[in-house]
Amino acid sequence: MEHTGSPPLVPDQRHFGAYQYEIYLGGLSGQVPPITTDLSALAEIARDRMEPTAYGYVAGGAGTGATMRANRAAFDRWRIVPRMLRDVTVRDLSRTVLGTRMPAPVLLAPVGVLSVVHPEGELAVARAAASLGLPLVHSTVASYPMEEVAQAAGDAPRWYQLYWPRDREVAVSFLERAERAGYEALVVTLDTFLLAWRTRDLDQAYLPFLQRVGLANYLADPAFRAGLAKPAEEDPAAAVAHWAAMFADPSKTWEDLPFLREHWDGPILLKGILHPDDARRAVDAGMDGVIVSNHGGRQVDGSIAALDALPGVAAAVDGRAAILFDSGIRTGADVVKALALGADAVLVGRPYVYGLALGGEEGVRHVLRCLLAELDLTLALSGHTTPDQLTPDALVHA
Ligand SMILES: Cc1cc2nc3c(=O)[nH]c(=O)nc-3n(C[C@H](O)[C@H](O)[C@H](O)COP(=O)(O)O)c2cc1C
Ligand SMILES: CC(C)CC(=O)C(=O)O
């Protein structure tokens, strides 16, 4: 057919926003997306389709849920101020954070026990993330061991999240295994050395770990197994009790950080930083990055919204370390706001978990593609072609 010179119906496929046209074109043959494109509505849809215990665990927060609400309210208070006539035809969302190149500044937050949501759990998530080239952060309390998840991720980038166990041998073993399995950066979660008062789980008397979900990394670990009086297969209850006793250590202080450096060669990020002084301390201690996060509102009820903490942390870090952000990201516009306020990249949590619950690997991919498409379109429509162009000037505080 002769080229007529008319513009292509589907814009440049390299742009994430093209997912929008893929969906519209599907409509010509009567297809609609299997899952909503409104990621803020996913929780409500998932509630009707998930086991009540699993839904309560994923959706729940600490106490009254005030921190979860604050996370969302903080995003609503910032508004984007679009700029016009800036030629945004060609856009590049890619970014390199601590040596890891990502096609957009978005990672999958570490989320444990995903087999309570879908039997393929973290394996399905790893495949979906890898198909888009997005980095996955593998949780210590995942339902599949880190080696199997690494295999599912293939060549795609992956980071490892450590729940720093009381038992030094197990900690060393986890770090050695993660390095061997090709995890590039270490995320050390500081805010969950105790489980918060989680009323939804308490009301259902439900904790997945007591049913041995989430222990895969431990049960596959020689150092953990060596600490058991009897093999876990013979005495599962004792294995759970042993896990509960050593899972985390509330006595840890800043003085313990050199241990991490001793046993990990790559970049190290501290997750759960909310106070500028803690951010400064992390940098002074030689950490490579901080993750501004209140654990999705799951730990301290009445905590500062993570987004409200971001500008103070960004000022304290002052370019000396990477700044990542999570807690409350639901849309592409949210990503734009977090980047403008100083994040180098963001992590998304519950939305991809609902995608997994509603559609397995394909559901996770759909959720991530929606997020990336909306990010690309919002970036362009507000007058930017790269994440680097986003500064606090792109926003007003309403
Ligand atoms: C079901 C669930 C399990 C989680 N498990 C972990 C975990 O194992 N390790 C960790 O560091 N954070 C964990 N998180 C916290 C996430 O990494 C992230 O901080 C949070 O989900 C971000 O908030 P969002 O869900 O609003 O996006 C978990 C969150 C959820 C919802
Ligand atoms: C409490 C942990 C074991 C898992 C977690 O991080 C979470 O449920 O938020």
Q: What is the CATH number of the domain that holds 112?
A: 3.20.20.70
Query: What atom of ligand 2 comes closest to residue 214's alpha carbon?
Result: 3
pLDDT (0 to 100) of residue 2: 44
- Residue whose Cα lies nearest atom 6 of ligand 1: it is 111
335 within some domain: yes
Count of structural domains within the chain: 1
Q: CA nearest 260: which of 269, 271, 272, 251?
A: 269
Nearest CA to ligand 2 atom 3: 141
Strand, coil or helix: 158: strand
Nearest ligand, CA 137: 1
Asked if the structure places residue 351 within a domain, the reply is: yes
Domain contains 323: yes
Q: Quick check: 192 and 158 in contact, CB under 8 A?
A: no
Determine, yes or no, domain membership for 87: yes
pLDDT at res. 1: 41
Give the domain range for residue 123.
Answer: 39-390
Which of 55, 163, 195, 240 is the pocket-test mutation for ligand 2 (most atoms within 8 Å of CB)?
195
**Pocket residue to mutate for ligand 1, from 57, 68, 111, 115, most atoms within 8 A of Cβ:** 111
Instruction: Note the ipTM here.
Output: 0.99
Neighbouring CB atoms inside 10 A of 339's CB total 25
Is 327 labeled as ligand-binding? Answer: yes
What's residue 334's pLDDT? 98
How far is the C-alpha of 196 from the C-alpha of 362, rounded, in Å? 32
Q: 258-261 long-range contacts, Cβ below 8 Å, gap at least 24?
A: 259/168, 259/171, 260/175, 260/186, 260/188, 261/286
- Pairing between β-strand 100-102 and β-strand 95-97 as defined by DSSP bridges: antiparallel
pLDDT along the chain (398 residues), means of 10: 55 86 95 97 98 98 98 98 97 98 98 98 98 98 98 98 98 98 98 98 97 96 98 96 96 98 98 99 98 99 99 98 99 99 99 98 98 98 98 97
Residue 149 CB less than 6 A away from ligand 1: no
Angle ∠(376,296,374) on CA atoms, nearest 5: 10
Ligand nearest to the CA of 306: 1
Please identify, by atom number, the ligand 1 atom nearest to the C-alpha of residue 191: 11
Q: Say if CB 323 and CB 313 are below 8 A apart.
A: yes
Residues 321 and 326: their CA atoms lie apart, in Å, by: 17
> How large is the greatest C-alpha to C-alpha distance in the chain, in angstroms?
77
Residue 8 domain-assigned (yes or no): no
Establish if 373 belongs to a structural domain.
Answer: yes
Decide whether any atom of ligand 1 lies within 6 Å of the 138 Cβ. no
CA of 305 to the centre of ligand 1 (A): 15
Ligand 2 centre to CA of 350 (Å) is 12
295 lines ligand 1 (CB under 6 A): yes
Residue among 27, 78, 82 at smallest CA distance from 331: 78
Residue 9: predicted pLDDT: 62
pLDDT for residue 14 = 79
Residue 315 alpha carbon to ligand 2 centre in Å: 29
CA of 148 to the centre of ligand 2 (A): 21
pLDDT, residue 3, reads 47
Examine residue 211 and state whether it is found in any structural domain, yes or no.
Answer: yes
Nearest-atom number in ligand 2 for the CA of 112 is 4
Neighbours of 53 (CB within 10 A): 17
104 in any annotated domain: yes
Return d(Cα 252, Cα 357) in angstroms, integer. Answer: 35
Ligand 2 centre from 16 Cα, in Å? 31
Residues known to be catalytic: 295
Q: What is the pLDDT of residue 6?
A: 61
